[in-house]
Structure 1
Amino acid sequence: MRRRLPRYLAAAFLLPASALAMLDIDTSRLFAAVAAEEDLLKGCTDVPEAVVLAEELRDRALRIERYMAALEVRKTEIAEAEATLRQRLAELKAQKDGSRNQREADTSAVRTDIDRLIAVYDQMKPAEAAAILSNLPADFAAEILMRVQPQTGAKIIAAVEPRQAALLTAQMGARSVRTR
């Protein structure tokens, strides 16, 4: 018995609503309680409470209208701000892509320069390369030695004085440990 009651209630509400929908009747006017102020006070102007209530309702309606107008203005402002933010985001993404491409180009250019430098050291005589590497900072010299051909690197290290060779070897080992 308990389950039938909600079904009856649902049918009681759904049948009239579906009938209105099928007849294509504008339901908004059926449920709207819109009346002009004169109609509200018709025959009640001698009742002070009714007059006060009508004025209060009119004031509230005006406040609601102003509030709705302010909301529309805010909606417009928010839409404009959102459009501006989307445009700025697109600009920033374009800048980011541009800087990434520039960085990649710069990195490629540096790699090309390093490869040329390594090729030069590969072509030099070991004694000459050792003399130049001895005057370079140890980390830079170790980097060059790690990139030249192993046979050339061995000959260059052999031509460097033993103390400098030990320092370069230590730098090369430290670089290998850092890259892992």
Structure 2
Amino acid sequence: MRRSMLSALTLAFALPAAAAVWQGGDLGRFFAARAESGNLLEGCTDVPEAVALATELRDRALRIERYLEALDVRKAELAAAEAALKARAAELRQQKSGLQTRRDTASSEVRADIDRLVAVYDQMKPAEAAAVLTNLPPDFAAEILMRVQPETGARIIASVEPRQAALLTAQMGARSVQND
């Protein structure tokens, strides 16, 4: 008796599954327990707790969907902002490179100008150079004196009045300390 009952139960479960497979259906869909929003309350509308729970679940599902949509929008905004920042950073790097190139060019031009000026003072007589240097700002005059040939610089300082010579020497010492 038990065997015949077991056979009957097997047939009862296997027959619908075979029919679903034969019709091209999905077995998972056939056996899955589904709760759709339309028939979630089917047969339970007279139980207030079930109605309240279903309403709460539906509201939560809507809030979650809205939250996920907001997250997607925010992700898109962040991706756009990130792309804009990367583009701006690349632009700034390019500008920085251009500025550095211009600075290097300007700096080399200034050095060339100073070298020509120093060469002029190297060729001048010490007394003439001293007369011109005393009329220049002390820091500029000290810069020139530090760049001329040492013996020429010594002759120029010797030709300057002692007070001015002391000021120029102090400026030259201060410049030496700043460069170290």
TM bin, normalised by shorter chain, reads: 0.7 to 0.9
Q: Whole-Å Cα distance in 2 between the matches of residues 42 and 135 of structure 1?
A: 105
Residues 1:33 and 1:62: Cα distance change in structure 2 (over 3 Å): farther
The correspondence of residues 89-108 of structure 1 with structure 2, limited to 5 A, is: 89-108=89-108
SS of the residue 2:136 aligns to: coil
Q: Whole-Å Cα distance in 2 between the matches of residues 133 and 165 of structure 1?
A: 10
The CA deviation string for residues 35-90 of structure 1, in whole angstroms up to 9 with x for no partner, is: 21244223323323222222221122112111111111111111111111111111
Farther off after superposition, 143-152 or 91-100? 91-100
Number of residue equivalences: 151
Shift of 1:163: 2.5
Q: Whole-Å Cα distance in 2 between the matches of residues 59 and 111 of structure 1?
A: 76
SS of the residue 2:100 aligns to: helix
Q: Whole-Å Cα distance in 2 between the matches of residues 49 and 167 of structure 1?
A: 98
Q: Whole-Å Cα distance in 1 between the matches of residues 34 and 67 of structure 2?
A: 19
Q: Whole-Å Cα distance in 2 between the matches of residues 57 and 167 of structure 1?
A: 89
Q: Whole-Å Cα distance in 1 between the matches of residues 144 and 33 of structure 2?
A: 89
Q: Whole-Å Cα distance in 2 between the matches of residues 111 and 33 of structure 1?
A: 86
- Aligned CA RMSD, in angstroms, stands at 2.2
Per the normalisation by structure 1, the TM-score is 0.74
Residue in structure 2 matched with residue 14 of structure 1 by the alignment: none
Residue in structure 2 matched with residue 157 of structure 1 by the alignment: 157
Residues 1:53 and 1:144: Cα distance change in structure 2 (over 3 Å): same
Residue in structure 2 matched with residue 117 of structure 1 by the alignment: 117
Residue in structure 2 matched with residue 62 of structure 1 by the alignment: 62
Give unmatched runs, 5+ long, in structure 1.
1-27
Per the normalisation by structure 2, the TM-score is 0.74
Amino acid at match of 2:71: L
Q: Whole-Å Cα distance in 2 between the matches of residues 55 and 127 of structure 1?
A: 104
The CA deviation string for residues 16-39 of structure 1, in whole angstroms up to 9 with x for no partner, is: xxxxxxxxxxxx98xx97521244
Residue in structure 2 matched with residue 77 of structure 1 by the alignment: 77
Q: Whole-Å Cα distance in 1 between the matches of residues 64 and 167 of structure 2?
A: 83
Runs in 1 of length 4+ with deviation above 6 angstroms?
Answer: none
Shift of 1:110: 0.9
Residue in structure 2 matched with residue 130 of structure 1 by the alignment: 130
Q: Which has the larger radius of gyration?
A: 2
Residues 1:149 and 1:53: Cα distance change in structure 2 (over 3 Å): same
Amino acid at match of 1:97: S
Residue in structure 2 matched with residue 45 of structure 1 by the alignment: 45
Amino acid at match of 1:169: T
Q: Whole-Å Cα distance in 2 between the matches of residues 113 and 130 of structure 1?
A: 20
Q: Whole-Å Cα distance in 1 between the matches of residues 110 and 100 of structure 2?
A: 15
Amino acid at match of 2:48: P
